[in-house]
Amino acid sequence: MANPVVLTVDDDPAVSRAVARDVRRRYGDRYRVVRASSGEEALTALREVKLRGDQVAVLLADYRMPQMNGIQFLEAAMDLFPAARRVLLTAYADTDAAIDAINVVDLDHYLLKPWHPPEEKLYPVLDALLDAWAAAPETTTNEVRVIGHRWSAPSFTVRDFLARNLVPYRWLLADEPEGGRLLAAAEACAEDVPVVITTDGTTLVKPTEAELATHVGLSTTPAADFYDLVVVGAGPAGLGAAVYGASEGLRTVLVERQATGGQAGQSSRIENYLGFPDGVSGAQLADRARRQALKFGAELLTARDVVGLEAAGATRLLRFSDGTSIAAHTVVLATGVSYRQLTAPGLAELTGRGVFYGSASTEAPSCAGQDVYIVGGANSAGQAAVYFARHARRVHLLVRGPDLRRSMSHYLIEQIERIDNVEVHPHSEVVGGDGTDHLEQLTICDNRIGERRSVKASWLFVFIGAEPRTDWLADVVARDARGYVLTGPDLASDGRRPAGWALPREPYLLESSLPGVFAAGDVRADSVKRVASAVGEGAMVVSLAHQYLAAQ
């Protein structure tokens, strides 16, 4: 962090240089002295300091300045840095105005010009003010700051993107004092949110995920046009393929639409993954794998949406949504699956405003002392229930079937049974939701008897199965009726090679109907929906890619 600022403002160049010189001579090793020649110039400098997340310790302003006098400047500066100590420089004739300013801007001191010798008239005053300020300084931060509204879906999207990409950030409400000060510094208003202020002070108003990624240090542009291996999707399968591909010498790039980890990255705790007897969060596991892939030389592109795949001879071409493209010898499709959305009336409009798909762990602290409703009966829903039980007053787990045994691991069922504030509701479905600016009420149906009841609720997290995002592959590779990519033996259930297959060999085990294009993890038809199996397929597919390349 930069040293705290002492700002001096005076329209007389000689006086301005003198005061800055005297302050710098005694305090320059601990404080950064910023000099301005007018109130407007000084306010511009303060806005920049505020946006960078730095501190201002003392403001010294001359009383007699045109356009904006010292009292007017200090009054405006208070809105940005209320804890900064305020000093007015005055001539003897202006002492009455200085005394009046004590009430107007809560003035800490006024100094008569000239202040020489500074050892007697300036430094004792500043010493006392700096000591007082240092005893209770303003909070500094080197984090990204996000200003938004509590029940704003775009604000949630920004926070979720940063959290899932492990970018530290500070969340501020637009109607809170500090949030308002930052909006003022950015010359934005409450209607502009979400506003993101990066660590270097750059202001982003309603940024897209691509803009956000670029400004917080995530890579979005490929370093080359051609690769040995392109992996699409950075869930466990994609991360596994990137680690093994790069470690075995393939020039590898990993392309992710949103954040590394996929659905597994949102899991609060994975306890049945080999080598982690105490469990590991999905975010921790994904971060370790990401760093491992980067260590071996893989590139990672974030916030890049792949929308097309085509064959150009032996080359496989991938097109991005912005019209650019990259090419490779081989491609691994590891796009995983997305949670299906509830179709009950009233819920679509409340997505991101009380209705969330996936764990949305950023919201957990806000659930303190409230009831949380979770829909789903598989492991992801169970892990979320255990996690939210630490924050919420009560967690209601709504399950369509008679119990959890059909789709949830035994260890999770036992955990849930031991948690007093988790209640399982069998034969229950959400059939409606209502609210103004956020979710306020749910309608729940007992599917055995058709009886409906309404409950007050502000939090609904949905884990109701998943579907692959493979529409962009419809005319390129063979898929099953649900959209999952067919590979290997599944391509020729009748004993014949897939249509259009021109090679003399059969497709490899994880190879799609387009030679050199492989599928791994949840996106592959009939795959085992577990983290360990996805990682294993990611490793296996690299071996098959080597075989494909060797035969070319």
Rounded Cα distance, 178 and 80, in Å: 8
Q: Among 135-139, 323-327, 410-414, 513-517, which stretch is predicted with the lowest mean pLDDT?
A: 135-139
The candidate with the shortest Cα–Cα distance to 90, out of 108, 114, 68, 72, is 114
pLDDT over 90 at 499, yes or no:
no
* CATH class for the region spanning 5-135: alpha beta
Write out the two tokens for 276. Answer: 């982690």
Give the fold, CATH level 3, of 226-329+468-509: FAD/NAD(P)-binding domain (3.50.50)
Rounded Cα distance, 150 and 162, in Å: 16
pLDDT over 90 at 283, yes or no:
no
pLDDT over 90 at 514, yes or no:
yes
Is-same-fold flag (226-329+468-509; 348-464)? yes
Domain residues of the chain, as ranges? 5-135, 144-215, 226-329+468-509, 348-464
- The total number of residues shown for the chain amounts to 552
Evaluate whether 229 touches 332 at the Cβ level (below 8 Å): yes
Give the fold, CATH level 3, of 144-215: Glutaredoxin (3.40.30)
Evaluate whether 38 touches 30 at the Cβ level (below 8 Å): no
Rounded Cα distance, 253 and 332, in Å: 10
pLDDT over 80 at 93, yes or no:
no
More confident site: 104 or 133: 133
Specify the CATH superfamily of domain 348-464: FAD/NAD(P)-binding domain (3.50.50.60)
pLDDT over 90 at 116, yes or no:
no
